[in-house]
Amino acid sequence: MINFEEKMKYKIFVDGQHGTTGLKIHEMLEGREEIELLSIKEEEKKDLNKRKELLNSADLVFLCLPDAASIESVSLITNENVKVIDASTAFRTNPSWTYGIPEITPTQREKIKNSKRVCVPGCHASGLIIAMKPLIVNGILANSQKLICHSITGFSGGGKSMIDDYESGKFEDIGGQRPYALTLHHKHLPEMKYVLELDEAPLFTPSVGNFKQGMLVMSYLVKKDFKKAVSREEILDLYKNYYKDETFIKIIENNDSYLDAGLLNPMKCNNTNSLEISVYENDTDMVVISRLDNLGKGASGAAVQCMNIMLGLEESKGLKVSKN
């Protein structure tokens, strides 16, 4: 006798399930009764035929792989019904793929719902784009604006080898945060420019902190560069209106209660899919800070959110909201 409940399950395959993002997605989907996870043994992950079989038998595939491997996996998919969510940088500026931030425009959620090819944004890019898109759309910042941005992220963003180094105490004597990508060619720059429709890529440097998970993305703005004069309160109102129906985006109004004795903790959105925007100013300048979990809204959480939309499920299913 056919078990109807079994038959209705969505088959999901995570190609790259043994890496940081893949493991997290697997963990988030385990136990969801409407999902059947297809798995590959670690020793079989380089078996092309086995991967091809799994890639083509799934309803939806997550690609948690380096760029070249993601491109290869997409080429192995011959079943036109398979939906793909890619977590690499390979397709983020490809117009035939849909960018996976449903909140950024009024039509983006519908585009994701109807797409068979969705790319998950980079964690740094998510923080910058979600903070800057409303300012550009509403004519506060010009597309010609040279954005300046810095972020600090937990070491889990560096993958297995960096996690092992930190957790083994190898970097104990270093301790503090360390800037990287100092050639100024970080791999998230193309998507930042593409999605924000900027004339040129931002000036951006990230740094890795001596903590595992969480991140802050800080955008530095000079008020005289604004196309029209706006106060912090007007910027907050603009953000609240732009993201008014969004479960996972929170606009912070009271900085005093939000900060910990004047300090901003990068880890307070951990294990959620939330992104919080806070705004700071003096007479001449403004700083907009996005706080998010680099493994949540910055990676696996965003991927699962897109999956829920693409499969017609409740968008927030299996995802947590911050309580800050």
| Residues tagged active-site | 123
C-beta separation of 288 from 134 below 8 A? no
Angle of helix 189-196 relative to helix 123-137, nearest 10 degrees?
20
Q: Residue 119: name the closest of 149, 155, 153, 95 by CA.
A: 95
List Cβ neighbours of 217 (8 Å cut-off, separation of 6 or more).
124, 126, 127, 128, 131, 149, 150, 151, 289, 290, 292
Q: DSSP assignment, residue 260?
A: B
Question: In angstroms, rounded to a whole number, what is the distance separating the alpha carbons of residues 168 and 153?
Answer: 19
- DSSP letter for each residue of 140-160: SS-TT---EEEEEE-GGGGHH
Question: In angstroms, rounded to a whole number, what is the distance separating the alpha carbons of residues 143 and 140?
Answer: 10
